[in-house]
Amino acid sequence: MRCRTVLVSGAGVAGPTLAYWLQRYGFRVTVVERTPTLRRGWGGHAVDLFGPAVVVAERMGILPQVLEARTRTELISLTRPGKAPVDVDFTRLAAGISDRHVEIMRGELTAILHDATRNDVEYLFGDSISALTQHEHGVDVTFDHGAPRPFDLVVGADGLHSVVRRLTFGDESRFRRYIGGYLAVYTVPNSLQLDRQMLTYLTPGKLAATYPVRQTGQARAAFLFRRPGELDYDHRDLDRQKRLLREVFADDGWEVPRLLAELDATEDLYFDSISQIVMDRWSAGRITLAGDAGYCPGPAVGGGTSVAIVGAHLLASALREAGGDHVRAFERYERTMREPVARSRVIAPAIMATLIPATRRQVWLMIQAMRVIPRLPTAVQRRLFALQGTPATALAAIALPAEPWDADRPQDT
Ligand SMILES: Cc1cc2nc3c(=O)[nH]c(=O)nc-3n(C[C@H](O)[C@H](O)[C@H](O)COP(=O)(O)OP(=O)(O)OC[C@H]3O[C@@H](n4cnc5c(N)ncnc54)[C@H](O)[C@@H]3O)c2cc1C
């Protein structure tokens, strides 16, 4: 029997993108999302759409909304202790990385994706899959709250700590590869009245930043730091995470004390290790993974958003092309995604090294490079970035399937 009903776990980036394409290809799609609602301006961080991910957004007809919601960052100020800030023209830097690039708050992007799918896709908010039982004709799904239901296919698009991955492939520790750092992001008031500008402060092994969120009038504080071994904490223990962050940045000046003081009031602290998900395969029977759940390159360092969008589109296309034959489709999806995923995984540690230089000399070198690179002709910048590798180069090898409009018909069963 060809597959027609698909359950997608996770309404982040990969989930609704996949849902959009599947419903366009005639599948009946249900998305289950753990959070009770989508809170547009709440939490989240700035993410990037590069090259093919922008093309996917364009094909979905959401590019005007995405462009309208973009962050509009124009300047990044880099400060190191005791030195005057160096201002970097971010628009020129981004153009050097990719001719198609959009920076957008993750919450805005997920809201746009939800708007684009809400009328054609069933959303179950405030629930989670608790058990998956596969058999010859489908997957029986049990939820934490809702009644059990059968589906033809299940896709885990539920992020770095995916429940579908755990239930299907085993414990996260088998697949998570720590790459040596942590990051924290939370909402703060825009006390500095920042507009189109990100401020950063660099010391060896640490980066603190703050940038405005146009849509809410607030700002975000972001902290990244290196740590050779993993920290010991419970991911539900927010107080411990706040303490850890305060300890790591205790001796730092600049805006750091003020940003840390806001930790007490914040409700949306995101604190996690910079880790990758490394798996030999993403599919088992009628269950597969998309986005961070299957191939997270590391939050903030590997272009996970673009990889998630492109992966979701390719998975849906593979199912369309295989006429719903999941065995053929999953095999094709894995084959197509393997190379960009491998590239993004290699690039991520290099980007982390650039973002969080380890020594004073590296901090100085990074700032000098940032000072010079945007002034170079775009073509020269491209060559330099291609040498280092960026999320854009990771996706460069991807050939998106031919325009899907002709094939935009229900599946034959
Ligand atoms: C602080 C930070 C900064 C980042 N910066 C960048 C950047 O600059 N550029 C970039 O490209 N990427 C960046 N990323 C990475 C980017 O956010 C992810 O790669 C991208 O969101 C992946 O999309 P996804 O849909 O796979 O997963 P997610 O966006 O994580 O979505 C997963 C969804 O699944 C839901 N979920 C989780 N568990 C369950 C469950 N049990 N049941 C149901 N639903 C569940 C979650 O609530 C969420 O809605 C950053 C990430 C972080 C955390």
142-154 tens-digit pLDDT: 999 999 999 999 9
Kindly tell me if the per-residue pLDDT of 407 is higher than 70. no
CA 361 to ligand 1 center in whole angstroms:
33
**Residue 390 predicted with pLDDT over 80:** no
* Ligand 1 in reach of 106 Cβ (< 6 A): yes
For the stretch 312-329, pLDDT in tens is 999 999 999 999 899 999
C-alpha of residue 249 to centroid of ligand 1, in Å = 25
What's the gap in Å between 158 CA and the centre of ligand 1?
A: 8
Which range, of 184-188, 297-301, 319-323, averages the lowest pLDDT? Answer: 297-301
Predicted confidence at residue 353, as pLDDT, reads: 87
Counting ligand 1 atoms within 8 A of each CB, the residue from 21, 30, 34 with the most, and so the one to mutate, is 34
Q: Is the CB of 102 under 6 A from ligand 1?
A: no
Quick: pLDDT tens for 377-388: 787 777 777 766
**Which of 45, 172, 235, 266 for mutating ligand 1's site (highest number of atoms within 8 Å of CB)?**
45
Find the length of the chain.
413
Who contacts 98 (Cβ-Cβ below 8 Å, separation ≥6)? Answer: 50, 51, 390, 392
Q: What is the mean pLDDT of the chain?
A: 92
Q: What's the 72 CA to ligand 1 centre distance in angstroms?
A: 21
Write out the two tokens for 81. 């202790």
For 114, phi then psi, to 5°, come to: -65, -45
Is a pLDDT exceeding 50 seen at residue 276?
yes
Query: Atom 30, ligand 1: which residue's CA is nearest?
Result: 159
Q: Are 274 and 180 in contact (CB under 8 A)?
A: yes
Using only C-alpha atoms, the chain has a radius of gyration, in whole angstroms, of 21
The tokens of 257 are what?
Answer: 């004390």
Query: How many other CB atoms are there within 10 angstroms of residue 13's CB atom?
Result: 28
pLDDT for the residue numbered 43: 66
285-295 tens-digit pLDDT: 999 999 999 99
Distance (Å, whole) CA 34 – CA 15: 12
* Of the candidates 9, 8, 353, the residue with the CA atom closest to the CA atom of residue 161: 9
What's the pLDDT tens digit per position in 16-59? 999 999 999 999 999 999 999 887 766 689 999 999 999 999 99
Provide the sign of the torsion angle of the four alpha carbons 287, 175, 144, 314, taken in this order. Answer: negative
Q: What is the pLDDT of residue 412?
A: 39
Distance 191 CA to ligand 1 centre (A): 27
Per DSSP, the three-state class of 47 is strand
Residues with Cβ within 8 Å of residue 376, at least 6 apart in sequence: 96, 384
pTM of the model: 0.93
Nearest-10 crossing angle of helices 106-117, 14-24:
20
Query: Which pLDDT band, with edges at 50, 70 and 90, does 370 fall under?
Result: confident
Q: What is the pLDDT of residues 218-247, one digit of tens each?
A: 999 999 999 999 999 988 899 999 999 999
- Average confidence (pLDDT) over 79-108: 89
CA-closest candidate to residue 67, choices 14, 109, 113: 109
Q: Cα(376) to centroid of ligand 1, in Å? A: 33
Which residues 6+ apart lie within 8 Å of 236 measured at CB? none
With 0-12 / 13-18 / 19 or more C-beta atoms within 10 angstroms meaning exposed / middle / buried, residue 328 is: middle
pLDDT confidence of 411, banded at 50, 70, 90? Answer: very low
pLDDT at 413: 34
Could you give the percent of the chain with pLDDT greater than 70? 96
- Centre of ligand 1 from the C-alpha of residue 413, in Å: 34
Mutational pocket test of ligand 1: of 161, 269, 305, 395, the residue with most ligand atoms within 8 Å of the beta carbon: 305
- H or E stretch at 193: none
Q: Does the beta carbon of 33 lie inside 6 Å of ligand 1?
A: yes
pLDDT at residue 403 tops 70: no
Greater pLDDT, 156 or 93: 156
Q: Which of 50, 142, 158, 276 to mutate to test the pocket of ligand 1 (most atoms within 8 A of CB)?
A: 158
